[in-house]
Chains A and B, each alone.
Chain A
Amino acid sequence: MQNIIEIKNLTKKFKDITAVDDITFSVKKGEIFAFLGPNGAGKTTTIKMLTTLANPTSGAILINGFDPTKQQEEARASFGIVFQDPSLDDELTAYENLNFHGMLYGVKIKDRRERIKQLLTFVELWDRRDDLVKHFSGGMKRRLEIARGFLHHPKVLFLDEPTIGLDPQTRNHIWSYLKKMNEEEGTTVFLTTHYMEEADKVSDRIAIIDHGKIVAQGTASELKLKTNTKSLEEAFLALTGIAIREEIVKSQAMTGHARVWRR
């Protein structure tokens, strides 16, 4: 299988907003893929559809060959996810949180024990394994969630803003964990982030979404070449800047609200 994720004509409409508008792209197996976009662009909605937390209005998704709307359990077993907001149980210990996850994902006890030890050591939390998570800092919680995401040997790890709000040292460590797992176990990494320099450094390919549409795809170099800019951030601003103007013209006809901005 060349593509671990295939998205074709994916659309999500809510009452009168189209959050995701007919997007098509794919993610290659084993690559680090960055899904970028301004706030409200449709990133989180897309990830929700990829991770079975929301149903598409139309279009097709394949994760590891499975359709998340029809083969939910197989799709879910294929990926791990680190949400933007913490999703740990604060009243359980680090070890218990991982054990819980392992049991839910059907990881057999021997593998589970070894894997928990391996991953906790990997994210440097092994000596805190019996501490309640409520005593962990934000950075420690994020590291724990990353360890948890890898526990069941997923094909893809989704990360929604993995380094947001973290200090540079922790951010650096997190990227090293992700790259190592990507290299050693071939786990595809699908991330969203606002930190363009990070995306520039680590990602193999990038897709940029704005107002629900994919405005550009390719490697960081390709995007910089296309927009004649020197950094991914400039390329991003060049691409999403243009898109915004077009959108206002469109919605002006539909809602009349945009006229207020023009003044």
Chain B
Amino acid sequence: MIAIYTLWVREVKKYFRSKSRIIGSLGQPILFLVALGFGMGPIYQKATNDSYIQFLVPGIIAMSILFLAIFSGISVIWDRQFGFLKETLVAPVPRWQIMLGRTLGGATVAVLQGIIVFAISFLAGFKLVNLASLPLAFIFMVLVALIFTALGTAIASILEDMHGFQLIMNFLVMPIFFLSGALFPLTNLPKVLKTIVMFDPLSYGVDGLRGTLGGVAQFGLATDFWVLSLVVVVLIAIGSYLFSKIQV
């Protein structure tokens, strides 16, 4: 088990060491908050009589977790390219422990980022309705972080170099984000879009965060929790399997 801890510590240490990366990856969520929040705010207010900022913030938190989690998972490719991966593969440790340590480390870092974005959202005018629901919101953040770190690791295990990374970002990660209801309400959606949203794991994360941070959970918090938990288990299993099949 110390192997899991060792890999976890490495991810966390490296996160805190790269101050420029921390600040840099806050740029996008802040931009979305400001541009969309204040830009779309008035129209949304008129249409629904609700604050768009209140609606948007859970989506933006989910977004920051999604991107950092995928990036952490996919950093296996960097390790392969720069040689460090070999060191972990040749150690007398089962591969699943290596994968789990990395996944937990990457998820920890993604959740930390989510918390920072959450803190910043107060500056944009977000109001916390129910303090008691914070631990629950935290759980949803953790689940989202685990899912996408595991997914990133699984993908990185089958990619041989960094070239596929662009493809993954544009054709997988962006759609997952934009089609998750992070930016728009799920009421009265066209049928096709509604179906896609239901198949996107992030939708349940966004919904759960929305429900616990003062809004309404369209799917219901229980559904969100169980769907996310199931996806976590499945993706960690798939990720472990693919990671164990890596050949350098």
**Using a CB–CB distance below 8 Å, which chain A residues touch chain B?**
51-54, 72-74, 76-77, 81, 83, 85-92, 96, 100-101, 103-106
Given known A-B contacts A81-B90, A86-B83, A92 and B6 have beta carbons under 8 A apart: no
Q: Which residues of B contact A85 (CB under 8 A)?
A: 83
With a cutoff of 8 Å between Cβ atoms, the chain A residues found around residue B2 in the complex are 103, 106
Using a CB–CB cutoff of 8 Å, the interface residues on chain B facing chain A are: 2-3, 5-6, 10, 13-14, 17-18, 82-94, 247-248
Task: Say which residue of A54, A88, A103 sits within 8 Å of B84 (CB atoms).
Answer: A88
Q: What B residues does A81 contact at CB under 8 A? A: 90
Q: Which residues of B sit under 8 angstroms from A77, Cβ to Cβ?
A: 92
Partner among A51, A52, A53, A104 whose Cβ is within 8 Å of the Cβ of B3:
A104
What is the bound-complex CA distance between A86 and B86, given in angstroms? 9
* A53 CB contacts on chain B under 8 angstroms: 86, 89-90, 247-248
Interfacial chain A residues near B89, Cβ < 8 Å: 53
- CA distance in complex: A100, B13 (Å): 12
Contact A87 B92 (CB under 8 A): no
The answer to whether A92 and B93 touch across the interface, beta carbons within 8 angstroms, is no
Q: Given A81-B90, A105-B91, A106-B92 in contact, is the A96-B84 Cβ separation under 8 Å? A: no
Check A87 against B10 for contact (C-beta < 8 Å): no
Q: Are B86 and A104 in contact (CB under 8 A)?
A: no
Residues of B near A87 (CB, < 8 A) are 83-87
B-side contacts of A72, CB under 8 Å: 92
Indicate whether A76 sits within 8 Å of B91 (C-beta atoms), given known contacts A83-B83, A86-B83, A104-B3: yes
Determine if B87 and A101 form an interchain contact, defined as CB atoms under 8 angstroms apart: yes
Query: What residue of chain B has the Cβ atom nearest to residue A72's Cβ?
Result: B92
Decide: B10 and A73 in contact? CB cutoff 8 A: no
Contacts of A96 in B (CB 8 A): 13
Selected from B14, B18, B86, B91, the residue in CB contact (under 8 A) with A83 is B86
Tell which of A100, A101, A104 has the most Cβ of chain B within 10 Å.
A104
